[in-house]
Homo-oligomer: A and B are copies of this chain.
């Protein structure tokens, strides 16, 4: 049975929970949470209305599940990019680039996140607990101890980087010419690096 399930998954016949999250991602990024009825999500996912509430007792539960899913995926991608022997600056660059490229390639996830983080669903406290944020804060703390970064709360350094990534991604979306321009991307990183470095 387990083997059969794996087979299904590999063939692209995703389980309905995943189908629902994918459908919601598309519709949310097009019309926002509130203009997207649950019935439409189920329809787009090709499943029944009722099954949505089987997997996610409320619409808010679905939205939260999607948030954690995205955070996990961007964390896994970022971690896969960094390497051990890197200097601090190299690590920061790798993380910055990973974030920018991941968000550009996963445009719907990016749109979802923007909405979510500025909605009443979001709270700072939830975010701080995620391993992605914790890893970033740890790096910021390192840089501060090494006297490389400005002497402020590492959380602030992280938030500064995050908002710059967001701005960079938005800019690159509206100016696709630069998306493969390595020189331009280096300039973008310089902006971010200069901001946090001493």
Contact = CB atoms under 8 A, between A and B. Distances in A.
Contacts of A175: 153
Contacts of A196: 191
A107 B116 CA distance: 19
Contacts of A191: 150, 152, 160, 195-196
B115 A119 contact: yes
A159 interface: yes
B114 A190 contact: no
Question: What is the total number of copies of this protein in its complex?
Answer: 2
A83 interface: no
Contacts of A57: none
A167 B174 contact: no
Interface in A165-195: 166-167, 170-171, 174-175, 184, 187-188, 190-192, 194-195
Nearest to A157: B191
Contacts of A80: none
Interface string A28-39: 000111110000
A124 interface: yes
A174 B118 contact: no
Contact of A120 (B32, B120, B150, B184): B32
Contact of A163 (B119, B156, B167): B167
A106 to B, nearest CB: 17
A74 interface: no
A34 B194 CA distance: 39
Contact of A164 (B115, B151, B187, B195): B195
Given A115-B119, A118-B118, A195-B164, A159 B171 contact: yes
Nearest to A192: B195
